[in-house]
Amino acid sequence: MNEIADLNKRFAVPDHLCFEPAPDGRALARIDNRHASAAVALQGSQLLAWQPNNADPVIWLSKAALFAPGKAIRGGAPVCWPWFGAHAEHNDWPAHGFARTAVWQVQECLGLDDGSTRLSLALPAAQIPSRLWPHPTSLQCRITVGDTLEMELVTQHQGQQPVTLSEALHTYFNVSDVRQISVTGLDGCDYLDKVDDFRRKRQAGAVTFAGEVDRIYLDSRADCLILDPGLARQIRISKQGSDSTVVWNPWTEKAARMGDLGEDGYLTMVCVESANAAENAVTLAPGDEHRLQLRYAVEPLGT
């Protein structure tokens, strides 16, 4: 029995979830319930799409995204773990860690009483390279698809010594025109400006976009809103267990160099990432567990 048939036999939920081939032939979960539709790739436990009924898509996936073993998928909500960005000591190690390119295992699929759908996946120990991460930790991801979208990243540490990690749910949001949107909820927060050699600065007012933006906002725990007049909506990002917010758009020159953003793709996306990065990295004592939880909701503009 092939992989997809086996997954459907074991985990499919009628009127909620089934498994089908991704463009590279490997499995992805397709969710359709009475509230919304979504897709999740088993590579990386990566949310690829979420669209509430009678609404525009909320999650952005590049039309030029590559689906190949061990290659990051451009768009969706990649899981950055157990480090965010470049590794602090090894520049040749994969950016954003290895979880986003590993193949995860399905643990459970449920249709919930309110009509939403929950998918739980785990990063197998065999997919954690001991050369890069010699610490006995486990990682689970739970995604709940309804008229809101919830994600939970759970790290458990079974080692005998403390371990420090950084992480992010690196979500790409679909917008009408990044030049016309703004992101609120970060006023007064200090941030590290990667575009300006990681200089520390302070946000004044809403975040707007007229060039490349790549910032780690520190000690940022409040809700953020993506205000999008072109789609007459706002996307509310609520979170717990996340002390950093990363805001990113590569703009024209970097987007052209990247090659998988698609022609003018940068104009219709913005990343607002729930993270624990830089000085907000998480230290786990032996036996500790950490949960990064988020919730996305689509609201009428100005509510």
Average pLDDT over residues 211-233: 98
Average pLDDT over residues 131-145: 97
CA–CA distance, 144 with 44 (Å, rounded to integer) = 16
List, for residues 89-105, the tens digit of each pLDDT value.
999 999 999 999 999 99
In the chain, the number of structural domains is 1
Hey, which residues does 118 pair with through a beta bridge?
110, 144
Chain mean pLDDT for the chain: 96
Cβ pair 102, 43 in contact under 8 A: yes
Indicate the pLDDT class of residue 1, thresholds 50, 70 and 90. Answer: low
pLDDT-wise least confident of 64-68, 146-150, 214-218 = 64-68
Confidence (pLDDT) at 263? 87
Average pLDDT over residues 228-239: 98
SS3 of the chain = CCHHHHHHHHHCECCCEEEEECCCCCEEEEEECCCEEEEEECECCEEEEEEECCCCCCECECCCCCCCCCCCCCECECEEECCCCCCCCCCCCCCCECHHHCECEEEEEEECCCCCEEEEEECCHHHCCCCCCCCCEEEEEEEEECCEEEEEEEEEECCCCCEEECEEECCEEECCCCCCCEEECCCCCEEEEHHHCCEEEECCCCECCCCCEEEEECCCCCCEEEEEHHHCEEEEEEEECCCEEEEEECHHHHHHHHCCCCCCHHHHEEEEEEEECHHHCEEECCCCEEEEEEEEEEEECCC
| Environment class of 207 (CB within 10 Å of its CB; exposed 0-12, middle 13-18, buried 19+) | buried
What share of the chain in percent tops pLDDT 90? 96
Residue type for 218, please? L
Confidence (pLDDT) at 234? 98
Residue 277: which CATH number? 2.70.98.10
Domain span at residue 184?
3-300
The catalytic residue positions are 170, 273
Average pLDDT over residues 45-51: 98
Confidence (pLDDT) at 303? 84
Token pair of 224 as six digits? 């953020």
List, for residues 239-297, the tens digit of each pLDDT value.
999 999 999 999 999 999 998 998 899 999 999 999 999 999 999 999 999 999 999 99
**By C-alpha distance, which of 191, 180, 173, 178 is closest to 246?**
191
Confidence (pLDDT) at 229? 98
Confidence (pLDDT) at 302? 84
Output the CA–CA distances (angstroms, integers) from residue 148 to 55, 145, 272, in the order listed: 12, 7, 17
| Environment class of 32 (CB within 10 Å of its CB; exposed 0-12, middle 13-18, buried 19+) | middle
Prediction pTM value = 0.97
